[in-house]
Amino acid sequence: MSAGNALASSPLFYPLPVEKPGGAVVASKVLQDTQRGLWIVDAQGTLYFYDGLSLKLALDSHGHAIDNVNDAAMAGNKLWLVRGKHAYYYAPATTELLRLTISQVPMEFVASEGDTIWFANRRGLYKMKEDDLQPAFIPFQHPLKLRGLHIEGQSVFVAAQSGLYELAFNGPSQFQLHFPKQHITDVFRDNTGTFWFGSLNGLYKGRDGERVEFIGGRYDLPISTLQQTADTLWVGSKQGLFAIELDTQQQQHFMPSKHNDYALPGQRIIDLERDKAGGLWISTEEGISYLPQGAELFHRIRFGGGPDEIKAHRINDIVYTSNGTYWLATDNGLFELSGSLEILRHEPTLGNVDKISVWQQELWLLAEGEIRIYSRKKHTWRPLGLPHGSAEHPITSLKVDHYGSLWLGMRSQLYRYWPDTKEWISFGEHWLKDPMGDENVTVIFEDSEYQIWVGTDYGLYQFEAGHLYLVNNSVSQGGVRDLYEDRMGQLWIANHFGLQYSQTLSPLALQSVPLLGGRAYPFCIVGDNNGVWVSTTRGLSYLSFNAHPRRHFSDTEGLVPNEFTGQACHRNDTGSLLFGSREGLVDIEPETLLSSKAAVTPLALSEVRVNNTLHQLGGTATKPLILPYGAMASFEFNITALKGQPHFDYRLVNESNVPTEWTTINSRFLLLEPLAPGNYLLEVKDSQFDGGEVIRYAFSVERPWFLSTLLIAGGVLVGGGVLLAALYWRSRTFNEQNLQLKQAVYQKTAKIELQKKQLNASNMQLQRILEIRQNVMAQLSHELRTPLSLSLSMLAGLKDKMPLMSQFDVVEKNIAHSLHVAEQLLSCDALALIEPEKRCEQRVAPIIQACCISWQVEAEKKQIALCLEDNTSQVSVFLAPYHLEIMLGNLLSNALKYTDRKGGITVNVREMKSQLVISVSDTGRGMTEETKAHLFESYYQEDPVFSPEAGFGLGLSTVKQLVELYEGDISVISYQGVGSEFIIRLPIYRSEFVGVDTALEHADGAETKQNILIATADDMMKETWASLLKADYHVVFVADGYEALIAMSDQAPDMLIADMCLPGLSGTQLLQRLVEELPADYQPRLMLVAEENDVDHGEVLLAGWAHAVLSKPLNTSQAFVEVSRLLHSLKAGNAEDHGEEPVNTAWRDSVKALVAEHFHHPDFGTSAAAKALFMSERSLQRKFKQEFGVAFKDYVTQFRFTQAALMLKQGDRVADVALACGFKDPAYFSVRFKTHTGQTPTQYASGFVNHDITES
């Protein structure tokens, strides 16, 4: 058989959906219902109705099965039967079965044409109408031994034991004999008017009896039945099914196959029936099959062992090469097919081939878990060695890009291979974002702009500038199956849960695309000149370039249910499409397929039940259904010739012609609850196909006796009287309530007027108090300013005459401070103390020192030691004048008041984390908890008995307001009998930095030069670093990331300075590799130099990849200082010296916060923490051990037990504590807790309970 014949034999014969192995239905007669569905008479003579999903036994009105049927015909809304040698009609709309009294001679056959029914026995024909059951008898010239009754054209054909008798409808009642010596089995008239006669001795064409030759030169083939679909005549025989093209007379022969589910079930054809959709029902001795309309549009090369079949079971990938041939990757090696799909070559030795990628004259294959390179010229292959350490990761995808480099996807790994240099580049695991762990690379795709896209079972990643970035709105789609770029430059993504596309490649803006066919999920995407084809779980869909669905092909149009299961599809240069399917290879001509008429999927009414009693079978109804009041009606719908459940919309239209909203039902049953009396029209349509036929079913609900007209009228009169009485009573009640409401409103209005007068009087009183206050403050400020100004003038005159100049300086400064306060009070009122003036930079040390000297006299009077510890050097703050003195002065005044004689007060000033910390501690009597709670409230004072020297209670509240004004904070630590400590934190405006000269002096003093490795490809940067560092350090330059990685391992320098822009490995990739691969006992200093926008400096420092990050253009002074600082800290062995503490402290704080946030999750451990901190597990374990001194796992366990102990102490239940602290099993928690503490959780909790009882 040639390839062309293989394609010609591709139609699929669908088995009857209800059939199962060993339970086939053998039909002697198949009839199309007037509305929808099929009537089937089985070999035992039992009548069934098939609704598309199930066979239903035909029952009469008494619930008895209709059996012993010899022949059947459909006319009008009834079935006409020959049953037990008698004539019957059966009305499915009412399940009425009626025997007709026609003749005492047994009936043998029945046929119909329109509304005319013909019964036949050996004596003659009986003609009757559906509405007139009195038959007209047409006798034979002599009794005949009948073999069949057929109606074609305008004639009735009676098949006898020998010969065929024809009676014309409009002619004389005379029979014309044809084929006097033949046993005719069927008569058929095609759409051209040509008659075909089947016999036990062959097929005859035309009334003149031209014999037809079948395939193989046979003429005497016994024919059983004839039928036509489109331009094809179907001939059933004992030797299979034949198809004859009426225009070309070409033939095809179809036979059963034990290994093909979609071949004919049996060899002997019993009956053929064409349905309204143009499909063909075939009845054989082994069951019933269905050939849908449009089956010839899909051409196939099947799987199998024949010479023109693909000797495989699965097609994994398809590529099309420049010489016009196809290459198939299958589970049984590699196949080469010609452009006409002839099998040219098979390479079974390659084993299971999963992926193919074409590069020039070579095919790169993923075969048997390894990479093999196949030569298309020599037809030989060679293996490709995989990168070291990749054996444990199975290969899942490959792609050769336009550079000729190979991209290799594995489980949680991505590699790139350069054939020229035989170099493998690994992209590590840090780019993977699935919180559940490993990701499998499912597809690698290169678009027209040479951009690489990587799809995984988690989402879609974009490769750009050496990095992989997750496309955010691709995550919720269940992973990527296939990627495709259409001729418009749009990217299409087939995900597990749906289809997406983006109209642009950059930026990518994904949109969801709806698919036809119900719950359809895409597999493979391929395009043509006008749109995109998508194979799905529901068939094949065609979409326009703007993602609008245009056409859908399902298993009613020549496709197998669940035909497409893989990502194998391709389009050749001529426009043909190839898809790998479960049956083999499917070839499609897009223009031919789209120009075909869409198949109709008729929705059929299967049965109607009233209160669970069968009322109607099939969709034919002669009169509306009448439901008793309160009865429930159920309707069953199905789709003929389609597997699966129907999805339909329905609505009810009442007798006022007002419809309800359309409601969707995802089941074949519609149950209507009891309805109100009246007439209704039920409308049903298929929800999956727009514009489909609407089924309409009329019924009515009877009106019950208690809803009669007289009863309703009496009820209305009684109800009207009751309503009038109620309205009268309600009117009186309403008038009384209205009067009460008016009185209440009057009283409320009077009360409001009184309150208004009181508020006005209070407002006037407050205004007078405010005026008095302003006058008093102005007079007080004036009286304070005048003597202070005179005192300051007199002091200036005495200053030159007095020997103790330092004490006079203090007095002068205090008077100037008091005069400044008085000026503020006079000009701005009392609030001036906490409102900032024009701020300026102020050095901290002189102000603190002067303030302490001012209070030294008061301290000496009480014999209190006042000590100052200032470590701030040149630190400055940005405050208003005198505000720092006010803060410290109030704290010192408070400390002197509450510190006994011979006590001590210490003022400590230091710099910490870019903040100025001022601590004032004393050895006073301390404070109670109540005092600490109200300490910073205005006018708050302790009991005068305990604090006789207390003022107005404004000092500490003023300090708090000023501190918060400058974005700082104040706190207090106090213990009764021990003392108190007030701590102020303010932001630092400027700090002293180590100068370049100091760093150079430090470098000159070193005994030996330290080694610095500088990785940069920029010649100008090399010159800059050389001139800056060579005088003090031993400097070595490299120009490649990989070269730097090797040099760090071999030479072990003290410091690495890496440029961000490096060939091979970028700066961040190099630093990350060093952090992960360097031994724990070798900790060099690492520095990164990058543009401001190239990398997030904070993220690099927080991840622990570098100790410092410098920005370009390079500040040479700052760069030298940073290098000196880092190398000095390395030499001293203390990683926290010279400013390195903030990096490690920030990292430690982030780790602590992470543990505190997630410790209650049972799955939280080293793996989850490493992903959250963007580190590998190995790097996290090493860095955590270095920073905390314990293993990360032990730290988390200790933290959990600490939290558990606190919860047990509070009285929480053991089971709740276990779950809250990350233990899935309370019993396991109890064992671990006892091992950790020596006590069970219950014993530990009871110990605290007993302790509390004892104390109480």
Residue written as token pair 């543990």? 1155
β-partners of residue 416 are 407, 425
Say what the pLDDT of residue 1099 is.
Answer: 76
Class of domain 996-1138: alpha beta
Distance in Å from the first CA to the final CA of the chain: 102
Return the structure tokens found at 933.
């709670």
C-alpha 183/C-alpha 28 separation (Å) is 19
Closest CA to 515 of 549, 562, 489: 549
pLDDT tens by residue, 402-434: 999 999 999 989 999 999 999 999 998 889 999
Say what the pLDDT of residue 602 is.
Answer: 64
List C-alpha distances in Å: 487 to 530, 546, 1047.
9, 12, 48
Which residues are CB-contacts of 1213 (< 8 A; sequence separation ≥ 6)? none
What average pLDDT score do residues 1083-1103 get? 80
The per-residue b/e assignment along 703-727, b for 16 or more CB within 10 angstroms, e otherwise, is eeeeeeeeeeeeeeeeeeeeeeeee
CATH superfamily of 316-386+398-429+439-595: YVTN repeat-like/Quinoprotein amine dehydrogenase (2.130.10.10)
Residue written as token pair 């969709």? 619
Closest CA to 240 of 429, 407, 13: 13
What average pLDDT score do residues 1208-1226 get? 86
Whether pTM > 0.85 for this model: the answer is: no
β-partners of residue 534 are 525, 541
Residue written as token pair 């099998």? 343
Range in 265-269, 283-287, 604-608, 637-641 with the lowest mean pLDDT: 637-641
CB 157 within 8 A of CB 226: no
Residue 736 host element (H or E): helix 709-799
Supply angle C-alpha 818, 821, 822, rounded to 5. Answer: 90
603-707 classified as CATH 2.60.40.10: yes
Does the pLDDT value for residue 1134 go beyond 50?
A: no
What average pLDDT score do residues 1200-1218 get? 87
Which residues are CB-contacts of 1198 (< 8 A; sequence separation ≥ 6)? 1190
Range in 272-276, 391-395, 552-556, 1192-1196 with the lowest mean pLDDT: 552-556
pLDDT tens by residue, 284-311: 998 898 888 777 778 888 888 877 889 9
Supply angle C-alpha 970, 974, 976, rounded to 5. Answer: 160
Say what the pLDDT of residue 692 is.
Answer: 65
Return the structure tokens found at 584.
């083999």
C-alpha 188/C-alpha 119 separation (Å) is 19
Residue written as token pair 């405006």? 989
Q: Would you call 879 helix, strand, or coil by DSSP?
A: strand
Mean of pLDDT over the chain: 82
Say what the pLDDT of residue 632 is.
Answer: 86
Closest CA to 596 of 551, 541, 533, 538: 551
Instruction: Give domain limits for the chain.
Output: 316-386+398-429+439-595, 603-707, 839-987, 996-1138, 1140-1256
CB 667 within 8 A of CB 645: yes
- By residue count, the chain amounts to 1256
Task: Using pLDDT thresholds of 50, 70 and 90, give the confidence band for residue 689.
Answer: low
Which residues are CB-contacts of 242 (< 8 A; sequence separation ≥ 6)? 214, 215, 234, 235, 236, 251, 252, 253, 254
Does the pLDDT value for residue 146 go beyond 60?
A: yes
Describe the chain by its helix, strand, coil percentages, rounded to 5. 30, 35, 40
pLDDT tens by residue, 791-838: 655 565 565 555 544 556 656 666 666 655 655 554 444 444 444 455
Return the structure tokens found at 1241.
């959780």
What average pLDDT score do residues 271-277 get? 87
Does the pLDDT value for residue 368 go beyond 50?
A: yes
1140-1256: CATH, from 3.40.50.300, 1.10.10.60, 3.40.190.10, 3.30.420.130? 1.10.10.60
Which residues are CB-contacts of 654 (< 8 A; sequence separation ≥ 6)? 678, 679, 680
Percent of the chain at pLDDT exceeding 90: 29
List C-alpha distances in Å: 781 to 775, 836, 906.
10, 19, 34
Instruction: Kindly compute the dihedral angle of the four CA atoms of residues 1116, 1122, 1124, 1130, in this order, to the nearest 10 degrees.
Output: -150
List C-alpha distances in Å: 441 to 183, 319, 359, 463, 646.
68, 20, 21, 13, 37
C-alpha 430/C-alpha 106 separation (Å) is 87
Backbone φ and ψ of 888, nearest 5°: -65, -35
CB 642 within 8 A of CB 16: no
Domain covering 839-987, topology: Heat Shock Protein 90 (3.30.565)
Say what the pLDDT of residue 409 is.
Answer: 93
Please indicate whether the domains covering 316-386+398-429+439-595 and 996-1138 agree at the CATH topology level. no
